[in-house]
Structure 1
Amino acid sequence: MRRVLGRKPGRNPNTPLGALGLGAVAGIRSMTPPALLSRAASRGEIRNIRKTPFGFLASPRAATWLTVLAVGEISADKLPFSPDRISLPGLAGRLATGALVGAALYAADGRRGAAGGALGALSSLAASYLSFYLRNGAQERFGLPNPAGGVVEDAVALSLGLLSLRSTKG
């Protein structure tokens, strides 16, 4: 088979964008990207993921549990005692889920999962800090209550996550 512009045949050129986007979503809501990816994979929308070490994400049971965890996180985020996303435990979880979704997308596309994992984790790290400071700044400047800022973040996370997945479908 012939390579086109240094690209292996069959690879989706948008996979890095998908890993970056889902990684960024992990910085906003850590469980939303694995839930979205798992739901898409369980519907057969992520080609070849079943042939990778991340094939468990294609299970309808995994999709259900990850969705339950994502909804729980979305609800808990609005509570006044929720820890900051840039605290060590929260940041570690965001990096882990960013790495997971990035690696899974890369592996499903026949690429090196480690590269996708690094891309997803770095994107998650950047988005964690950016979204933290944006939300706090908006709350201070406009006097928004914490739950209102959280609802805006929920909408951004879901929209960016769905857009990122759409870009990876080939």
Structure 2
Amino acid sequence: MCLPVLVKNIARLRPSLSDSVAQTLIHAFITSRLDYCNGVLSGVHSKTLARLQYVQNSAVRLLTRTKPWQHITPTLIHLHWLPVKSRIHFKTLLLTYKSLHTIAPQYLTDLLHPYTPSRSLRSSDTGLLSIPRSRLRTVGDRAFSVAAPTLWNALPPEIRNAASLDIFKSALKAHLFTLAFGP
């Protein structure tokens, strides 16, 4: 079943649902599908992202009973939900962290290579990754082997060097939240 149909079905039931039950349904049927394998959507066309963002916005409006003419950004901030593009970056960076710390499957770990400059530089110990060249800008830059190091190298060093997965997740979400909505 497609996402807009799920939103409509939950909307029909919404008057008889409590807020907690509505939130559970939205997380179970909508946000879980938005997040499932969304790392594949890295670098996807903005028109596709806009459609997915529309579904997320509809789910937020349904959950909070926000009117269609009201801005959705304050509601997203209140719920502490990342926009779809930031959720995709979160998933890609999480897989990158897991790959670098041997928590992810070996085939992902094999795609990432540490940056080693040809001569001694200050950047050699900063935990950067080497970004391979891609033949095709549209498709090649979307590959995990290119997108992950690009996003990873853009992170502040204190996030890249997080001591544990939980610390990394919370710091990364806070960073992406700030990038998406401002301080």
Whether TM-score is above 0.5 comes out as: no
Q: Could you say which structure has the larger radius of gyration?
A: 2
Larger RCO: 1 or 2 (CA < 8 Å, sep 6+): 1
Q: TM-score, normalised by structure 1?
A: 0.33
